[in-house]
């Protein structure tokens, strides 16, 4: 996915902690992260759950919400 596509169809958030292979910055589809306190990202057969910290970081000239890892759960089949 290119940056242009992600910018038009999602929102950039900053993920801290969680699996070390996950990018620190992450594009979420749609706009569900803008007002959410919790998000889940599918990653290698599990959902990685993150909670909003209330902090923001300046990324590419815009303030981006920061989410911290809380737990992981298996994806139901």
pLDDT recorded at residue 3: 31
pLDDT, one tens digit per residue, over 8-64 is 457 788 888 877 766 676 776 665 555 688 988 888 888 889 999 999 988 888 888
Q: State which H helix or E strand residue 8 sits in.
A: helix 3-9
By DSSP bridging, strand 10-16 and strand 62-74 are parallel
Residues 67, 50: contact at Cβ < 8 Å? yes
Task: Reduce the DSSP state of residue 4 to 3 states and report it.
Answer: helix
For residue 29, the model assigns a pLDDT of: 65
């Amino acid at each position: 996915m290119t940056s242009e596509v992600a910018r038009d169809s999602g929102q950039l958030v900053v993920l801290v902690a969680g699996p070390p292979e996950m990018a620190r910055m992450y594009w979420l589809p749609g706009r569900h992260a803008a007002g959410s306190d919790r998000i889940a990202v599918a990653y290698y057969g599990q959902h990685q759950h993150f909670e909003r910290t209330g902090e923001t970081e300046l990324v590419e000239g815009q303030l981006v919400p920061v989410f911290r890892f809380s737990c992981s759960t298996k994806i139901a089949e």
